[in-house]
A and B are shown apart, each in its own frame.
Chain A
Amino acid sequence: MDIAAIRQDFPILSRQVNGRPLVYLDNAASSQKPRQVVDAMSNYLLYEHSNVHRGVHTLSQEATVRYEQARATVAKFIGASKSEEVIFTRGTTESMNLLAWSYADAFLTQGQAILISEMEHHANIVPWQLLLKRRPDLRLLVCRIHDNGTLDLEDFHAKLADQVGLVSLTWTSNALGTINPVNELVEAAHNAGAKIALDAAQAVPHFNLEVAKVGADFVVFSGHKMCGPTGIGILYGKLDLLEQMPPFMGGGDMIKEVSFSGTTFNEVPLRFEAGTPSIAEAIGLGAACDYLTNIGMDQIAAREQHLLQVANQAISEVKNLKIYGEAPDKAAVISFLIGSIHPYDMGTILDQYGIAIRTGHHCTQPLMERFQIPGTCRASFSFYNTEEEIALFADALVKTSTMLNR
């Protein structure tokens, strides 16, 4: 992997911040975008744009082809068996809400439960809480996690037996980096007669998903964490399930026939894509998949595991540094605290060194409560980060903690 050449694709990585070279270690919040993605979007907007699925004119047909090609590219990228199983949404959050409004509301029956875990992002907690307000006959169960940040599988299997209709778990934790044993979870869910949804927002940028092989019923993720644009995401679902699901939002494109006496709905996937979709963003996401495929997801996974090792080694010298999330199978994310230093202070001073990390609760407040901490500092690495950047980060950590330990 030619890192120098790859970094040329991301002009932002050559920026200065506060008079120093930017060290971008907030990739789990959002990744940077290569020229190839921006070029694909701008080329579409400048030369090919029209509305999709409507006009008979050439431009509309070209735009439709490009939009549907993007869907096919995403489907292939995640290992789906059919393009129709890929629904464009605005992001992980919208995908989860779609599942709650459409699938869960229609198919979960009185007394059934949704099983999540303590390590979930708010996007996999709040949609279910809202569902329970509409459907007080349903229940929400929360699987415990161990102190090292791994799922408590004993608790998972015990709770799964309690009338669970839908399991909804993160594939990879954004705050801890834990990669969950999805094969085992899917098998267990299915054996218990439950469907399973996986939040892959922090998985899809880092390794091959192979969704059909894993066998999850639903997989959701966002474009902007995988080198794609904001405002676009995916709900993958098994076709037979999607075909039974009622629409989430009503409007144009999702209908077959509309009359005041009743409306019939379009086929999957368009049934779930009401209104003019984010066409340029979908094309951008397709370009992001192509970009990552060209580098190779296996190479990316190996590179990021290497960076994680280098980073762990580099910060092991920092006094009083405690890492949250030490799962054996872990993405390139390090959540930490140093002594009693507040993450906000740490992030503010590191920014002065040009180093961008995330601080706070990472939209996982129940998880922070579980560890009885207000939040953490989180450094998250991408394949385009370098060993030199990690050295700068470790050096700034030492200086910053000296400054703040007063």
Chain B
Amino acid sequence: MKSIAEIEEAIIADFSFLDDWADKYNLLMDLGKELSPFPDEFKTEQYRIQGCQSKVWLKSHLSQDKKVVLEADSDALISKGLVALLVKVLNNQTPEDILHAPLNFIKEIGLDSHLSPNRANGLASMLKQIRMEAKVYAQQTASAQ
């Protein structure tokens, strides 16, 4: 299993070939299409991330080997691409690694404008939600030991 930093490097490399903003957004939307199908039954308020102008759903669980498994979807292509990026980097990592990852790749690939505190931009909310869930798993794991 690759580390978060290794996956980030690979994503930065993919994006660095692209000079044009349109190609970057096309790649982002392609990443969204690679997400595993998200069952409609979970597209509910319970799994919806607040703070995005589009609808974004996130569902997670802790696997047998104590890794955080992430599933996500969105009704907008760009939001789906953004959440897919986070899933690609953070899926199947330990709660601690997720909590401590600085995630510099967002800035490196030029998508940091999506982290602005405007409520229309959901990337910050997505990241906050994933970290919140990772924190719960980290506490569960710690208290079980």
Contact = CB atoms under 8 A, between A and B. Distances in A.
Interface of A: 18, 342-345, 347-349, 352, 359-360, 374-375, 403-404, 406
B55 A374 contact: yes
Contacts of A374: 54-55, 75
Contacts of B21: 18, 352
Interface of B: 21-22, 25-26, 29, 53-55, 75-79, 120
Given A342-B54, A360-B53, A375-B53, A348 B78 contact: yes
A403 B26 contact: yes
A375 B75 CA distance: 12
Contacts of A406: 29, 77
A350 to B, nearest CB: 12
Contact of A344 (B22, B26, B29, B120): B120
A344 B25 contact: no
A342 B120 CA distance: 13
Nearest to B24: A352
A406 B120 CA distance: 23
Interface of chain B, main secondary structure: helix
A344 B77 CA distance: 9
Contact of A342 (B22, B25, B76): B76
A352 B79 contact: no
Contacts of B54: 342, 344-345, 374
A368 to B, nearest CB: 12
Contacts of A344: 53-54, 76, 78-79, 120
A343 B77 CA distance: 10
Given A345-B76, A352-B25, A375-B53, 10 more contacts: A342-B54, A342-B77, A344-B54, A344-B76, A345-B79, A348-B78, A403-B22, A403-B25, A404-B77, A406-B77
B50 to A, nearest CB: 14
A403 B81 CA distance: 14
A406 B78 CA distance: 12
Q: Which of B22, B53, B55 has the most CB of A within 10 A?
A: B53
Q: Top 8 nearest A-B pairs by Cβ distance?
A: A342-B76, A344-B54, A344-B76, A344-B53, A345-B77, A345-B76, A345-B78, A360-B53
A404 B25 CA distance: 10
16 contacts: A342-B75, A342-B79, A344-B53, A344-B76, A345-B54, A347-B120, A348-B25, A349-B78, A352-B21, A352-B22, A360-B53, A374-B54, A374-B55, A403-B25, A404-B77, A406-B29
Q: Which of B21, B22, B55, B77 has the most CB of A within 10 A?
A: B77
A349 B53 CA distance: 15
A404 B120 CA distance: 19
Nearest to B114: A348
B35 to A, nearest CB: 15
A369 to B, nearest CB: 14
Contacts of B75: 342, 374
A360 B55 contact: no
A360 B26 CA distance: 22
A352 B25 CA distance: 10
Nearest to B21: A352
Contacts of A352: 21-22, 25
A352 B75 CA distance: 21
Contacts of A345: 54, 76-79
A149 to B, nearest CB: 22
A342 B25 CA distance: 15
Contacts of B22: 352, 403
Contacts of B79: 342, 344-345
B122 to A, nearest CB: 9
A359 B53 CA distance: 8
A359 B55 CA distance: 14
A274 to B, nearest CB: 30
Contacts of A343: 53
Given A344-B54, A374-B75, A349 B120 contact: no
B81 to A, nearest CB: 10
A374 B54 CA distance: 8
B54 to A, nearest CB: 4
Q: Which of B22, B25, B76 has the most CB of A within 10 A?
A: B76
A360 B29 CA distance: 20
A403 B29 CA distance: 10
A10 B95 CA distance: 51
Contacts of A349: 25, 78
A404 B76 CA distance: 10
